[in-house]
Structure 1
Amino acid sequence: MILAGCASEPTAPNPGLKESFHTEVAANGSKRFTYTLEMAAPQLRGPYTESPQMRGGMMRQQDLGRGRAGRGQRMNFDYALELKLKETGFCRDGYFVIDRAVSQLGGEVRGECRDAAAR
């Protein structure tokens, strides 16, 4: 019986991932939002756990993919934002970006919906 109680306890959907979605509806009906996504920094192993050859190989792989990684992070962030907007139904007709800051560990977008709030 104790195991069943522990197994049914809800767990976080994505450990190490924090997101927030704040909305604002102005008196004129315009709808704005701020979406923030933060990912936990990956745990890096110290040099005492890897051989020098392993570290060098890992660095080269990171350097080779650096250009693509930036686009990939932005695409992942944009995908997460689109999922949140679809989940909430906040911007039914799309949105435009007011401010954007995206990095490897997350980002933030402030935007305004193209559709006005229902009155």
Structure 2
Amino acid sequence: MPRLLLCSLTVFLTACANGPDREPPHMEHKLHTSIYDNGSKLFVFQMLRASGQDGAREGAGPRGGGHGGPPPGGSRGGKPGKGPDPDKLLKQAHEALALTLAETGYCREGYMTLEEKTDRGQLAIRGECTETATEADREEFGKGKLPQWY
């Protein structure tokens, strides 16, 4: 857990060095996992704005990348001074997700992004590991329940 915290802190400090002079929002990370009877390993990774902070952007709707990184395409034209750039937040989320998956060992062979969404104060990535669950995975991660996806 301390390594995960250190890795997350490194990602955010790097983002601070490359962004505007305003302080980025503090985000909390949560990984929810679920292993199905057929061996499919699904997850929802959430980056939640720490309580008491305003949301920078309202619903961008789901987007599917279908690969293990941010979706292709250019910027959606974030306005300077109007909150964090959604593309930068999404990139940070994928970096934090990769670190979390490496730390936990949940997706050892990579993952596919099924959907992404941003909403006021939250960014979420729903995905599936490319490998099927082993008995060790079932023992360690169980049949957890994923949060409801809207």
Q: Secondary structure at the match of 2:85?
A: helix
In structure 2, the gaps of 5 or more residues are 10-24, 55-77, 136-150
Could you tell me which of 130, 145, 150 is aligned with 1:114?
Answer: 130
Deviation, structure 1 residue 16: 4.2
User: 1:63 deviation in Å?
Assistant: 3.5
What secondary structure, in the 3-state scheme, does the structure 1 residue paired with 2:115 have? strand
Equivalent residues of 2:79, 2:85 under 8 A apart: no
Given residue 41 of structure 2, which amino acid in structure 1 is its aligned partner?
Answer: K
Alignment partner for residue 98 of structure 1, among 96, 111, 114? 114
Which residue identity is paired with 2:49? Answer: M
> 1:54-85, CA deviations, whole angstroms, 9 ceiling, x for partnerless residues?
xxxxxxxx84477x923211111111111111
**Structure 1 length as normaliser, TM-score?**
0.60
The separation in 1 between residues aligned to 2:101 and 2:119, in whole angstroms, is: 20
Q: Find out whether 1:26 has 2:36 as its counterpart.
A: yes
CA RMSD, Structure 1 to Structure 2 (Å): 2.8
1:89 corresponds to 2:99: no
What percentage of aligned pairs have identical amino acids?
30
Q: Which one has a larger percent strand, Structure 1 or Structure 2?
A: 1
Q: Which runs of 5+ in 1 are unaligned?
A: 1-12, 43-61
Residues 12-70 of structure 1: CA distance to partner in whole angstroms, max 9, x if unpaired?
A: x579432211111111111001111112326xxxxxxxxxxxxxxxxxxx84477x923
Q: Is the 8 A contact 1:77 1:106 kept in 2?
A: no
**Distance across 2 between alignment mates of 1:63 and 1:30:** 40
AA aligned opposite 1:72: K
Counterpart CA distance in 2 for 1:90 and 1:117 is 9
Q: Which of 40, 43, 48 is 1:38 aligned to?
A: 48
2:94 maps to amino acid: D
How far apart in 1 are the matches of 2:80 and 2:32? 37
Give the number of the structure whose alpha-carbon radius of gyration is greater: 1
Q: 1:37 is paired with a residue of what secondary structure?
A: strand
